[in-house]
Amino acid sequence: MQTTSLIKSSPNIKGLACRDCGKFFEISLNHACDECFGALDVIYDFEKAKPSKDRIALREKNMWRYRELLPFDPVDAIYDIQAGYTPLIKAKKLGEKLGLKELYIKNDSVNPTFSFKDRPAAVGVNAAIHFGLDTVGCASTGNLASATAAYAARAGLNCLVFVPANTERTKVAQARAYGAKLIEVDGTYDDVNRLVSQAADLYNIGVVNVNLRPYYVEGSKTLAFEVAEQMNWEAPDAFIVPTASGAMFNAICRGFEELRQLNLINEEPSNPIVAQAEGCNPIVKAFKKNSDHIEVIEKPKTIALSLAIGNPGDGVYVLKRLKKKGFAEDASDDEIVEGICLLAKYEGIFTEPAGGVVIAVLKKLVDEGKIDRSDKVVCYITGNGLKTSEVISDKLESVTLIKPNLKELERVING
């Protein structure tokens, strides 16, 4: 399949820079530094970029309203399915229940494919077109597969998505419905990622979270931009991010940093928090040991399958950030289910286990005094409960089956 138009990169981009040694690269399919193997990040010219609050306010309510700080400009007819500008909800009831004055839920589970992954996939797939590739793909724990497949469908690209064989059936069906070729791998996410990294060059695939990763991660910065704008250009004091590879946490931190550099907010959040599942907690473990390096979890074991990454690609960068400020905490499977139910019962939001991890960690850190009860706290809820309903179905009150008559109904209602 051939794409018709090549997408130009934004004129605000200076190039790519190594996150470790700072070496500069021209915009290219490079994703790792040839000197030190560090990750490469897109660097902007803030003299040129300069978005204004007024100009942003006039734009369409989707992630591209922050176009000056993204690698591509929608004026260039990019391919889009309208991800972003999801609701920021003041969670009054849940806040009261947990003893917090100002709790907010960033409900990113209502994106077009029902997870935050639409944001990075949006930029990654447009980057593939920019580089003239006609096939895109990803290594996924489930949600990225659908996001990549949906954007590929929109753009008319071939799509090959790879997931571990234990991925939830709803996620697999969703990705396939968009027309992607879905390959299940008998192994962990890390096995999948290794295989896909080898396949990327061999088969000339634009793998959004491998060779297109510098662009892909940019999309998730919009999670910081939106929260700041929705809080009237203020940052929260604390925010909690469900974390697997660490890419989203890093991107959100970078988003707030860029807003501060551009004077769009006065202060960055003082308490960024990483939330992981207890059965796959390599970042939390390293944080608690005050270690600079990650010990890989070979066999993750958690109901939060979307967070089951034992060897987090951005883990060391997350640890570096946590050295300066913030916390990392984990949650057991039972706590995750409790977290899902709390958010559903108190705020009417049904999340997948990744969101349950966030609420469980919120509860723990408030109880331990690591989150101040008077702080403005934002919980990033990044995936939809409908994708994983089997996780909680058998943990809920049983369903009563009756014959269609009032006598039987009476028995149920009055016990």
Ligand X SMILES: Cc1ncc(COP(=O)(O)O)c(C=O)c1O
Nearest to 113 by CA among 176, 67, 193, 166: 176
In this complex, which beta carbon is closest to ligand X, that of residue 141 or of residue 148? Answer: 141
DSSP tag of 315:
H
Q: Are 13 and 27 in contact (CB under 8 A)?
A: yes
Q: Which stretch in 37-45, 146-154, 227-235, 264-272 sits in contact with Zn ion by CB under 5 A?
A: 37-45
Comparing CB distances to Zn ion, the nearer of 15 and 187 is: 15
- Alpha-carbon gap, residue 226 to 104, rounded angstroms: 13
Site for ligand X contains 115 (CB under 6 A): yes
* Residue 246 is a binding residue for ligand X (CB under 6 A): yes
In a 3-state reduction of DSSP, which class is residue 24? strand
Q: What angle do CA 184, 120, 336 make, to 5 degrees?
A: 65
Interacting span for ligand X (CB under 6 A) from 224-232, 243-251, 252-260, 295-303:
243-251
Q: Does 242 engage in binding with ligand X (CB under 6 A)?
A: yes
Least distance between ligand X and beta carbon 14 (Å): 25
Angstrom distance (rounded) from CA 31 to CA 40: 6
* 20 near Zn ion, rule: CB under 5 A: yes
CA distance 409 to 218: 54
Does the protein bind Zn ion through residue 16 (CB under 5 A)?
A: no
**How near is the Cβ of 362 to ligand X at its closest, in Å?**
15
Q: For ligand X, give the closer residue by CB, 244 or 377.
A: 244
**Can you list the pairs that 309-312 forms with residues at least 24 positions away whose Cβ atoms lie under 8 Å?**
309/141, 309/189, 309/190, 309/244, 309/245, 309/280, 310/188, 310/189, 310/190, 310/280, 310/282, 311/190, 311/193, 311/282, 312/243, 312/244, 312/245, 312/246, 312/282, 312/283
Kindly tell me which residue out of 12, 141, 174, 281 binds ligand X, with binding defined by CB under 6 A: 141
Beta carbon of residue 227, minimum distance to ligand X (angstroms, whole number): 16
Q: Which of 125, 244, 331, 360 binds ligand X (CB under 6 A)?
A: 244
Here's the x/- map for ligand X, 142-171, by CB under 6 A: it reads as: -xx---------------------------
The window from 84-92, 237-245, 285-293, 399-407 that contacts ligand X (CB under 6 A) reads 237-245
3-class state of residue 412 by DSSP: helix
Is residue 18 a contact residue for Zn ion (CB under 5 A)?
yes
CA separation for the pair 57, 66 (Å, rounded): 10
Is residue 346 within 8 Å of 91, Cβ to Cβ? Answer: yes
- 276 interface partner picked from ligand X, Zn ion, none, CB below 5 to 8 A per type: none
Distance of CA 249 to the CA centre of its chain: 8
Taking the least distance from each CB to ligand X, the nearer of 141 and 211 is 141
- Closest-by-Cβ residue to ligand X is 383
Which range, of 32-40, 44-52, 74-82, 238-246, touches ligand X by CB under 6 A?
238-246
Instruction: Rule CB under 6 A: say whether 382 interacts with ligand X.
Output: yes
Applying CB under 6 A, does 385 fall inside the site for ligand X? no
At position 382, the amino acid (one-letter code) is T
Comparison of 41 and 68: residue with beta carbon closer to ligand X: 41
**Span near ligand X by CB under 6 A; candidates 43-51, 129-137, 236-244, 255-263:** 236-244
DSSP 58-124: TS-SSGGGGGGGSSS-GGG-----------EEE-HHHHHHHT-SEEEEEEGGGSTTSBTTHHHHHHH
Which runs of consecutive H residues, i.e. helices, occur in 220-314?
A: 222-230, 247-261, 282-288
Of 1, 5, 35, 99, the residue at the interface with Zn ion (CB under 5 A) is: 35
Which residues bind to ligand X, rule: CB under 6 A? Answer: 115, 117, 141, 143-144, 242-249, 306-307, 352, 354, 382-383
